A and B are shown apart, each in its own frame.
Chain A
Amino acid sequence: MLRIHELNFRYKNINALEGVDLKLNKGEILSIVGPNGAGKTTLLKCIVRIVKPERGTILIDGKDASRMKRLDLARCVGYVPQSSPSKFPITVFDAVLMGRRPYITWKPSKKDLEVVADLLMSMDLEDLALRGFDELSGGEKQKVLLARAFAQDPNYLLFDEPTSNLDLRHQMEVMEMISGMVREKGVAAILAMHDLNLASRFSDRILMLNAGKIFCNGEPLQVMTVENIRSVYGVEVTINLSDGHPYIVPIRQVK
Chain B
Amino acid sequence: MILLVTVLFAVALIALSQGAASVGLKDSFTALFRDSGLAHAIVWKLRLPRIVMAILVGWGLALAGTVFQAILRNPLASPYTLGIASSAGFGAVMAIVFGAGFYNQYLIAGNAFFFALLSSFLILGIAKLKGSTTETMILAGIAIMFLFSSLSSLFQYMGTMEEVHEIVFWFFGSLSKVGWKELGIASVMILLPIPILLKWSWDFNLLAAGDESALALGVNVKRIRMIGVILASLITAGSICFTGVIGFIGLVSPHITRMIIGADHWFLLPASALVGTVLVLMADTLGRIVWAPQVIPIGIVTSFIGVPFFFYLLMRRKREYW
Residues of A within 8 A of B (CB): 45, 48-50, 70-75, 77-79, 81, 83-91, 94-95, 98-99, 101-102, 104-107, 134, 148, 152
Task: Report the Cα distance A86→B266, complex, angstroms.
Answer: 18
Stretch touching chain A among B120-128, B203-211, B274-282: B203-211
Contact B215 A48, beta carbon cutoff 8 Å = yes
Would you call B101 an interface residue if the criterion is a C-beta within 8 Å of the partner chain's C-beta atoms?
no
Complex contacts, A78 vs chain B, CB 8 Å: 216
Q: Which residue of B lies closest to A72 (CB)?
A: B218
Task: Report the Cα distance A106→B203, complex, angstroms.
Answer: 10
Contact A84 B216, beta carbon cutoff 8 Å = no
For the complex of A and B, list the 9 residue pairs with the smallest distance between their C-beta atoms, beginning with the closest: A74-B218, A79-B216, A71-B218, A88-B263, A102-B218, A101-B217, A81-B212, A48-B216, A85-B210
Contact B217 A102, beta carbon cutoff 8 Å = yes
Partner of B216, one of A77, A106, A134: A77
Complex contacts, A81 vs chain B, CB 8 Å: 210, 212-213, 216
Complex contacts, A101 vs chain B, CB 8 Å: 202-203, 206, 217-219
Contact B263 A89, beta carbon cutoff 8 Å = yes
Contact B266 A85, beta carbon cutoff 8 Å = no
Task: Report the Cα distance A83→B201, complex, angstroms.
Answer: 23
Complex contacts, B73 vs chain A, CB 8 Å: 85, 87
Task: Report the Cα distance A74→B219, complex, angstroms.
Answer: 9
The tally of residues in B whose CB lies under 8 Å from a CB in A reads: 30
Contact B217 A86, beta carbon cutoff 8 Å = no
Task: Report the Cα distance A195→B93, complex, angstroms.
Answer: 62
Would you call B262 an interface residue if the criterion is a C-beta within 8 Å of the partner chain's C-beta atoms?
yes
User: Can you list 21 A-B contacts (CB < 8 A)?
Assistant: A48-B216, A70-B215, A70-B218, A70-B219, A74-B218, A78-B216, A79-B213, A81-B210, A81-B216, A86-B321, A87-B322, A88-B263, A89-B258, A90-B264, A95-B209, A98-B205, A101-B206, A101-B217, A102-B217, A105-B199, A107-B201
Task: Report the Cα distance A84→B208, complex, angstroms.
Answer: 9
Known: A87-B322, A89-B262. A50 touches B215 (CB 8 A): yes
Complex contacts, A94 vs chain B, CB 8 Å: 205, 262-264
B311-322 vs A: 1/0 string, CB under 8 Å?
000000000011
Partner of A90, one of B208, B217, B322: B208
Contact B218 A84, beta carbon cutoff 8 Å = no
Complex contacts, A79 vs chain B, CB 8 Å: 212-213, 216
Would you call B294 an interface residue if the criterion is a C-beta within 8 Å of the partner chain's C-beta atoms?
no
Task: Report the Cα distance A89→B266, complex, angstroms.
Answer: 15
CB B247 to nearest CB in A, in angstroms, measures 22
* Apart from the given pairs A73-B218, A81-B210, A91-B262, 15 other A-B contacts in the complex at a CB distance below 8 Å: A50-B211, A74-B217, A79-B216, A81-B212, A87-B73, A88-B321, A90-B263, A95-B209, A98-B202, A98-B213, A101-B202, A101-B217, A101-B219, A102-B217, A152-B217
Contact A70 B220, beta carbon cutoff 8 Å = yes
Would you call B176 an interface residue if the criterion is a C-beta within 8 Å of the partner chain's C-beta atoms?
no
CB A65 to nearest CB in B, in angstroms, measures 12
Complex contacts, A106 vs chain B, CB 8 Å: 198-199
Partner of A50, one of B199, B205, B212, B220: B212
Complex contacts, B75 vs chain A, CB 8 Å: 87-88
Q: Which residue of A lies closest to B210 (CB)?
A: A85
Would you call B74 an interface residue if the criterion is a C-beta within 8 Å of the partner chain's C-beta atoms?
yes
Among B74, B211, B264, max chain A CB count under 10 A is at: B264
Complex contacts, A98 vs chain B, CB 8 Å: 202, 205-206, 209, 213, 217
Q: Which residue of A lies closest to B72 (CB)?
A: A87
Task: Report the Cα distance A81→B214, complex, angstroms.
Answer: 11
Contact A107 B215, beta carbon cutoff 8 Å = no
Complex contacts, B262 vs chain A, CB 8 Å: 89-91, 94
Task: Report the Cα distance A85→B211, complex, angstroms.
Answer: 9
Task: Report the Cα distance A81→B211, complex, angstroms.
Answer: 10
Among A72, A74, A88, max chain B CB count under 10 A is at: A88
Task: Report the Cα distance A153→B69, complex, angstroms.
Answer: 30
